[in-house]
Amino acid sequence: MGQPVLNSMLLGSTDPERLKSWYRDGFHAEVDGYGNLNLGGFGLVIEQRDDVAAKTAEPGRFVVNFAVDDIEAAAAHLRTLDVEWLVHPEDRGVGWFATLVDPDGNYVQLIQMKPEYYAGL
C-alpha cells in the first residue's frame, strides 16, 4: 500500500451555497461538475449538514491555510469582499501571515513564506 495523499476536505455548513460563494470569490476557486471547489489541485467540498451549528464553537480547531505569492495583493482582493479580519498581514520572521474568518466562523490563513525559509529546507 502506498502512502495516502490528502486531496480534499469536507466542510459542513448550514448554508453551503453562501460558504461556497465566499471561498469561490475570495480565492478564485474553480467549481467542478459536482459543485466542489478546486483550489490549486486541492478539493474543498462544502455540504449541507444537520449536525453542525450555523457558527463554529471552536474556530481554531482547524485552520484552512492558503499559500500565496503576494499576501498584500491577496489581502487587497479580500478587502473588496468585506471579509472579517482576525489578524491583518504581519511579518512573523519566517514569513507573512494573516487570518480572516469565513461566514461560518472558521479561521482561514494566508501565508507567504520568505525565500530564506525555503533555502533552509
Backbone angles phi, psi at 65, to 5 degrees: -105, 135
Taking residues 28-45, report their average pLDDT. 95
Judge whether residue 117 has pLDDT over 90: no
Give the model confidence (pLDDT) of 42-83 as tens digits: 999 999 999 999 999 999 999 999 999 999 999 999 999 989
CATH number for 43? 3.10.180.10
Which residues make Cβ contacts (< 8 Å) with residue 40, sequence separation at least 6? none
Quick check: is 3 in a domain?
Answer: no
pLDDT at site 32: 94
Quick check: is 42 in a domain?
Answer: yes
Helix (H, G, I), strand (E, B) or coil at 28: coil
Neighbours of 100 (CB within 10 A): 21
Question: Total structural domains in the chain?
Answer: 1
Within 68-106, strands assigned E span 84-91, 95-101
pLDDT at site 109: 98
Domain containing 82 equals: 8-50+61-120
Quick check: is 80 in a domain?
Answer: yes
Quick check: is 46 in a domain?
Answer: yes
Taking residues 3-32, report their average pLDDT. 96
